[in-house]
């Protein structure tokens, strides 16, 4: 049987692929079914057919999976924020562990028993950072989360004006509604990335484990409208007394990243204080508006705890922390190491890493600004590490970075990744000199398709 676009099939979903689609086989061909859960028998329509695989969308669930549950959010299915609210949480964790295992074996050639996957300590209201997008559509202003595109469609999904979200604190949704109402009443248009016209771009809310709250509004650079943002900040501080900081920054680039380029206005503190704890270790961090930090504070404890366990520090080691961001992992390890050196291209993040090291009373940490894509020349100038920690972006390590690591030849590498496929590719690149000894999936993102992995490699 050769599948064609718009064919209808009946099939039983066997597993979940990374990305959240169900996986089945029809006459030996892999079919990725949007909306299918492991154990479901579904009727699905083929949306794309290739020689080696096909994609389909479930149109009806004929026999539901025993792992199916009722989603708690009324926006589920329309909102792009969650993909798996209708799948029992322990099964989400098991499937994500299998995805990591499969990627390491299929792409990385790794044959090592996986440690049991670890779920998030908080299954709901776990996110410490929410990024909401503005959109101008049908003559009106919208603010919320991006919706879900139908299977097979490409492009930027429309913004959904959400009224509930169970991934963040309820008060964050109250702030969202207040900002949406204010911006609509302002009469100032939302930004359109296609034309470059308009003003309001993103709303970012951070809420730390210590109860501090930062509201960050990102706009186009138009000083004639900045008074509107200052008025918004004053209104929010008045309505939400628990607000620690309000920041306004501008962005000129048209890309839809929720990050400002220049801070224009601020109320309250320059940063908020975050805390991560695990196994008796507690570390605190200063987080600025644009700095990267793990979006699940309790989950970060599980992740950093796994890194600490795999590193096996005795107090005599030099640790090199590549792509260190605001120094989160290195600072969490520093009390058990002789020296920690963090390496990061963002000057703002490095500044906050120094500030956080001071906040924790650490004197054995150094942080360096540099672009890892330059590879051997920059990294090779650093002291030879005993343990190298690497936590690259979703795209994985640059090839020059891999070559630099091979030249540095640390005894241990602890690799952290939010994409099992790029992790497996990077492990393969390092395999001429390193062997994977342990790996563990850590679910930082319940009800979404994302998963973190910690992987221990030792020099052969």
Residues serving a catalytic function are: 418
Beta carbons within 8 Å of 359's beta carbon, 6+ residues apart:
273, 284, 285, 286
Q: Would you say 443 is a known binding-site residue?
A: no
CB 398 within 8 A of CB 424: no
The rounded distance, in Å, linking the Cα atoms of 302 and 68 is: 27
Which among 94, 87, 72, 88 has a CA at the least distance from the CA of 36? 87
Query: Can you list the alpha helix ranges (DSSP code H) found in 21-88?
Result: none
DSSP 83: S
C-alpha count within 13 angstroms, C-beta hemisphere, residue 115? 17
CB 294 within 8 A of CB 303: yes
For the CA atoms of 190, 196, 197, 199, the dihedral, rounded to the nearest 10 degrees, stands at 40
Beta 41-49 vs 53-63: how paired, if at all? antiparallel
344 marked ligand binding residue: yes
Q: Is 228 annotated as ligand-binding? A: no
Alpha carbon 413 to chain centroid, angstroms: 22
DSSP string for residues in 406-441: HHH--SEEEEEES-HHHHHHHHHHHTTTEEEEEEEE
H-assigned helices in 9-130: 89-106
Which residues, at least 6 apart from 113, have a Cβ–Cβ distance to it below 8 Å?
Answer: none
323 is in an annotated binding site: yes
Sequence-distant (≥ 6) Cβ neighbours of residue 198 within 8 angstroms: 134, 136, 189, 190, 191, 192, 220
Tokens standing for 338?
């002789």
Q: How would you list the strands of the sheet with 213-219, edge to edge?
A: 159-160, 140-146, 129-137, 200-207, 213-219, 243-250, 262-268
Enumerate the known binding-site residues for S-adenosyl-L-methionine. Answer: 294, 323, 344, 391
List residues forming the annotated binding site: 294, 323, 344, 391
């Amino acid at each position: 049987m050769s599948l064609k676009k718009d064919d209808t099939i009946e099939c039983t979903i066997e597993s979940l692929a990374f990305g959240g689609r169900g996986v089945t086989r029809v006459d030996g061909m892999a079919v990725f079914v949007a909306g299918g859960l492991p154990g479901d028998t579904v009727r699905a329509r083929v949306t794309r057919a290739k020689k080696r695989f096909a994609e389909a969308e479930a149109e009806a669930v004929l026999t539901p999976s025993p792992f199916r549950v009722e989603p708690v959010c009324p926006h589920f299915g329309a909102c792009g924020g969650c993909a798996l609210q209708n799948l029992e949480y322990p099964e989400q964790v098991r499937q994500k562990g299998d995805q990591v295992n499969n990627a390491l074996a299929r792409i990385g050639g790794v044959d090592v028993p996986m440690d049991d996957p670890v779920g998030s300590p908080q299954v709901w209201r776990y996110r410490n950072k929410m990024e909401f997008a503005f959109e101008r559509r049908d003559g009106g202003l919208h603010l919320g989360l991006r919706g879900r595109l139908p299977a097979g469609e490409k492009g930027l999904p429309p913004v959904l004006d959400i009224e509930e979200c169970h991934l963040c604190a309820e008060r964050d949704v109250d702030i969202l509604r207040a900002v949406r109402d204010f911006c609509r009443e302002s009469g100032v248009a939302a930004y359109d990335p296609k034309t470059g016209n308009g003003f309001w771009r993103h709303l970012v809310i951070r809420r730390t484990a210590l109860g501090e709250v930062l509201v960050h509004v990102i706009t186009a650079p138009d000083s004639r409208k900045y008074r509107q943002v200052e008025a918004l900040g004053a209104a929010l501080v008045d309505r939400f007394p628990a607000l620690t900081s309000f920041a306004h920054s501008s962005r000129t680039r048209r890309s839809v990243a929720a990050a400002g380029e220049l801070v224009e206005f601020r109320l309250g503190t320059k940063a908020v204080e975050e805390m991560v704890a695990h196994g008796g270790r507690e570390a605190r961090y200063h987080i600025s508006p644009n700095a990267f930090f793990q979006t699940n504070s309790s989950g970060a404890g599980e992740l950093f705890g796994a890194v600490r366990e795999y590193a096996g520090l005795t107090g005599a080691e030099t640790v090199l922390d590549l792509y260190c961001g605001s120094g989160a992992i290195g600072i969490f390890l520093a009390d058990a190491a002789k020296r920690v050196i963090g390496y990061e291209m963002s000057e703002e993040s490095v500044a906050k890493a120094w500030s956080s090291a001071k906040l924790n009373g650490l004197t054995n940490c150094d942080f360096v600004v540099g672009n890892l894509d330059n590879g051997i020349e920059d990294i090779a100038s650093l002291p030879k590490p005993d343990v190298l920690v690497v936590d690259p972006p979703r795209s994985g390590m640059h090839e020059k970075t891999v070559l630099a690591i091979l030249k540095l030849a640390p005894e241990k590498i602890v690799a952290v990744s939010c994409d099992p496929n790029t992790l497996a590719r990077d492990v393969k690149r390092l395999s001429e000199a390193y062997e994977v000894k342990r790996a563990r999936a850590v679910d930082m993102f319940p009800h979404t398709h994302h998963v973190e992995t910690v992987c221990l490699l030792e020099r052969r």
